[in-house]
Structure 1
């Protein structure tokens, strides 16, 4: 692996700064969401966003896609949505007596799955397979998904009627799970000001692309080259291993709340996220803070808590923080 030069880091910083500035011009506040989106993009992963409606998740996804010159598709998930509605199907043409393949909306660079927990288990499975394999199969013919490819899925935590909970094994395929909170008072006032100024809303000027998909691919290749010391890798593995033995690491009081810890996908996710954060900070190497910074997003959907934890209203973030406090940093 070749060392990343200062000129390469400077070029990446220029591109990312332009992307951040464009994103912030449309989405007020939500710095945590912006960081999660950029990290997921650089790490070639997928992001799960959880929040109540109306917190600009769709705006954030479409702004990111347009800013990097990518194709964007939004899929509103409903119980009657079929796998073919997502991946595509063959349509019979009576004029030529042949079948034509029509690719579904998943064949875009950035795909927003709105309220993924409203789709049936069969449809969820088809989408998550496309996420994992980065290809679809229609009538026995394999169609590769475009590069770059990123899925942003949302789910509403307050309405459970008519929903299908994502299985733990499928949740694990998301690099990060970000919980989006309400904006601050100042940020919400800024939203109203932008609407009055005409920079936000249905009549606002469209977002201008500041990157190309080739630029994004270059940033992803650069992220892969970020140096990770053996001590950092050992730290990551010890952290993930601790989630499987919480009682031994932080004590039985909290250990009884965790039924299943994170799989090796958790270790891989920490490695990818840490590298992406290093690039965002303009470094060619990972530091321990890169591992700690998005720890909740990496692990909150990878810990399976017991019914006792739900009864005692124990949040996964509490367990995660306890594990990180107990495992010494290099």
Structure 2
């Protein structure tokens, strides 16, 4: 595969997804895209893309354009199609729609049967998600989960790829970044992650793996100007394929895409020390779990989601330092108190739904 075949749509951009499966996932991504479009600085040069399945891409491009017959879509409720088309706004919402990795190389689905979320979160979706960098449309692509919502000013995070360029880092960097990603708020999630799980080996070469932090794969920024990044995008899915097809069992399943990402990143940094990872600071890309004893950060106590005079926890971009706010249950981050897509008439008329 040509390393540079996909990253040809522009210098910088946001890719929301990959999504697929239930159409609800694509609607959720479109809602995120609507918020992102409304807060994008017009002259920033940052583009906006959706990464979705071939089937969902066809619905948006053909059905929403009036080229589909209702009988072609029998398994999706009409109101969901209508909402998707309102958000899509006749193609004006997005700069690009990219198809997900169509046929990821996996065979083992059996381990997912032991996962309570197996109906919606199997290895099929996880491999598609881990292959997102394959289809990253821009040379510098910020990949966001559909529930990782940007706040105004998030464009400055792209400068985290450039040494000394801004203050959005966890530690000062003097080298160009290949990957920028945040650390998770917990070393191991409840009882799902245990220190020895999928350990690449023992002895002096891998003795530190148990202390290698999980990364928050809800937001990650890739720099495809550097070949190390291209190679890691391929290495990531090779490691994931081996994990799913060889190691995973019903008793020892893969809970989410963070498991293979963690393993692949650790190994790649051992093999290619020139690969340079920079971490988003947790106050810039944050997912907090108020009053949860399994998480390290409590946004209601550390200022990410400050308590307001009425005693309610803030959930608005205007009162949190987070530039990418990951939905953690009830703490849905809004802009000026609005989600950005509630008023469909404003969207249809082309005005800013957040104003």
Give TM-score scaled by structure 2 length.
0.25
Q: Which has the higher helix share?
A: 1
